[in-house]
Amino acid sequence: MKEIWQTTNTQPWVYALTSGSINAKTRTSKPHVPEGATVLLHTSKSKLWRDWKGLKWTKGLDPKSWDRGKIVAIAEVEEVGYTEDILKKSEYKYWDVYDGRGKDYNSAALFTVRFKNIRPLKNPVETKGFLTPFARAKKEVIKKVIKQNPEVKEILS
């Protein structure tokens, strides 16, 4: 079995990645995941990021409909590095937070991971996440993903 990674993100970020709105996610510390790696995108089961309602693109979205505590997609890492080197100027708007009290800010972190070939799973798989940005996925988790989504066997084997 090849090396597969797993990353846990809070909503609405995983929603944005799987819906095609964005294909990059910023991080405060440099992720130690290699470019070209296959990654399981996991949604955090914890509370939503406190400022998510200040993101303009989330207006009208129903957070109760988002899967939480589940692997919802598979992606490949295209690029890892400093945000200023990876994000295009037009992409920064996805991290703009408007709090309605004049304390607006851009929440993009220092580092960014750009993904490609993001494939939402037909059957999201419930599993525990990690407290680190990226970790190697456990073999039993990979087997569970394949069992519930046989169409991804070739990608994960």
Bridge-based pairing of strands 38-43 and 4-9 is: parallel
Q: pLDDT band at residue 8, thresholds of 50, 70 and 90?
A: confident
**Strand, helix or coil for residue 11:** coil
Domains of the chain, first to last: 4-156 (2.30.130.30)
Percent of the chain whose predicted confidence (pLDDT) is above 70: 94
Residue 147's pLDDT is 97
Residue 93's pLDDT is 92
- The tokens for 44 are 């955090």
Answer yes or no: is pLDDT of 79 > 90: yes
Q: Helical H runs in the chain?
A: 13-19, 83-86, 139-148, 153-156
Give the integer Cα–Cα distance in Å for 93 and 106.
8
Answer yes or no: is pLDDT of 69 > 90: no
Give the integer Cα–Cα distance in Å for 135 and 150.
23
pTM of this prediction exceeds 0.85: yes
With beta carbons less than 8 A apart as the criterion, state whether 41 and 15 touch.
no
Can you give the length of the chain in residues? 157
Higher pLDDT pick, 81 / 2? 81
* Radius of gyration of the chain, Cα coordinates, nearest whole angstrom: 15
Give the integer Cα–Cα distance in Å for 147 and 133.
25
Residue 95's pLDDT is 92
